[in-house]
């Protein structure tokens, strides 16, 4: 199998699994327990936090969650208590639908426009921020087009308008992938384990110690009272091991993936394909469209060759057309033919070349069939 849907999830890292294995076979203790085994597990969780926080500015803390979506919801819900809240039309559904739900509850929500590549139109965003804006949320890497938003600069400009506004960024497609760090202008940052070789079921919310989060889950007071419930020890240890490996090699992997993307484009027959991803994008994600054709048909044609790709966000796969690409201004022909290629560190040059060639062949074949009708 040639797996090119790494933005949906990644293959679990074998080394990380081996490191975490003893925490479900031997050290399976509850980290809230007061005996030696429990205290050891609690200490290990703290070590994982320290490793992750080492790539953030000083003055930050984090809590572990079940996924990036929970992190996003907790961040937004903590500050959507007054005034208005601002985000973009290109956010992951975890943010977008959270805003829609809060709107139903009487919160004033505002959505900034997108550029054609999926990045936020910064002027549109800033025009929505005022003295009553409680929180602004801007995704760092668009999960469908790969567009990179300069959240460090945007956060700074937001705070010039209103210093009291809290700034959140969904960093799920960026953490462990982009070599540039976030600045201390970003107050809250969501991350996820299974996007970087960890397991599904573990995420994190990194936050400035000066902000006051409001729990979504109440109970035993774990995670310093911010997220009750026994910690997913195995998932957390695995997350830490996977994150450490990716962070150590972040620049090396970035260059490798950028090369893969260029090789793919060089070997792709683009006669009937529109490249949607722009210039300032994460190399991990390539969005394109077989204009006038159906992306899901091409997806299944590629499956016959053992090639796995996506047609957009896996979390919104039930929708015929991508909400994000629609917000970018594309017509129905482009939306119908949308395909997302997302590269991973486990891919090889040979796989990338083969996939590009077969994609071109499938598009040309389907185009020929449609033209004969």
Backbone angles phi, psi at 191, to 5 degrees: -135, 165
What are φ and ψ of residue 364, in 5° steps? -65, -40
Q: Which pair of tokens denotes residue 68?
A: 């990036």
The edge-to-edge listing of strands for the beta sheet with 60-65 is 60-65, 203-208, 188-192, 166-170, 133-137, 84-88, 108-112
Q: For residues 162 and 160, what is the distance between their CA atoms, to the nearest angstrom?
A: 6
Please tell me which residue in 67, 98, 315, 362 is annotated as part of the active site: 315
Structure tokens that stand for 267 in this block: 């070997």
Contacts of 2 (CB under 8 A, 6+ apart): 305, 306, 307, 308, 347, 351, 354, 355
Question: Would you call 45 helix, strand, or coil by DSSP?
Answer: helix
Q: How far is CA 153 from CA 20, 126, 183, in A?
A: 37, 12, 9
- Residues shown for the chain: 373
Tell me the two tokens of residue 231.
């910690």
* Residues 252, 160: Cα–Cα separation, whole Å: 35
315 is catalytic: yes
The three-state secondary structure class of 129 is coil
Distance of alpha carbon 292 from alpha carbon 357, whole angstroms:
20
Per DSSP, the three-state class of 116 is coil
Contact 73, 135 (CB under 8 A): no
Residues belonging to the active site: 315
């Amino acid at each position: 199998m040639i797996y090119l849907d790494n933005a949906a999830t990644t293959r679990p890292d074998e080394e990380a699994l081996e490191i975490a294995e003893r925490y479900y076979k031997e050290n399976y203790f509850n980290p809230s327990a007061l005996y030696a085994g429990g205290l050891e597990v609690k200490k290990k969780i703290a070590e994982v936090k320290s490793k992750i926080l080492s790539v953030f500015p000083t003055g930050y803390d984090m809590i572990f969650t079940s996924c990036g979506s929970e992190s996003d919801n907790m961040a937004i819900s903590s500050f959507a208590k007054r005034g208005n809240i601002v985000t973009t039309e290109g956010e992951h559904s975890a943010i977008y639908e959270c805003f829609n739900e809060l709107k139903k509850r009487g919160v004033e929500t505002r959505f900034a426009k997108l550029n054609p590549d999926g990045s936020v139109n910064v002027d549109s965003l800033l025009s929505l921020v005022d003295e009553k804006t409680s929180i602004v949320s801007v995704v760092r890497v668009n999960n469908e087009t790969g567009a990179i938003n300069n959240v460090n600069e945007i956060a700074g400009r937001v705070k010039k308008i209103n210093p009291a506004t809290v700034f959140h960024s969904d960093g799920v497609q960026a953490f462990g992938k982009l070599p540039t760090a976030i600045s201390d202008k970003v107050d809250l940052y969501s991350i996820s384990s299974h996007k970087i070789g960890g397991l599904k079921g573990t995420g994190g919310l990194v936050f400035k110690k000066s902000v006051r989060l409001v729990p979504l889950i109440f109970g035993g007071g774990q995670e310093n009272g911010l997220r009750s419930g026994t910690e997913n020890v195995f998932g957390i240890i695995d997350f830490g091991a996977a994150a450490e490996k990716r962070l150590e090699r972040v620049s090396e992997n970035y260059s490798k993936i950028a090369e893969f993307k260029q090789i793919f484009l060089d070997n792709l027959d683009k006669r009937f394909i529109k490249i949607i991803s722009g210039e300032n994008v994460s190399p991990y994600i390539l969005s394109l469209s077989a204009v006038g054709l159906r992306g899901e048909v091409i997806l299944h044609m590629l499956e016959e060759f053992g090639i796995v790709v996506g047609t957009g966000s896996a979390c919104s796969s039930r929708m015929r057309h991508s909400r994000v690409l629609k917000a970018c201004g594309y017509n129905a022909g482009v939306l119908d033919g949308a395909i997302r290629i997302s590269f991973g560190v486990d891919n090889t040059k040979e796989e990338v070349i083969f996939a590009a060639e077969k994609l071109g062949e499938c598009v040309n074949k389907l185009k020929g069939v449609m033209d004969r009708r």
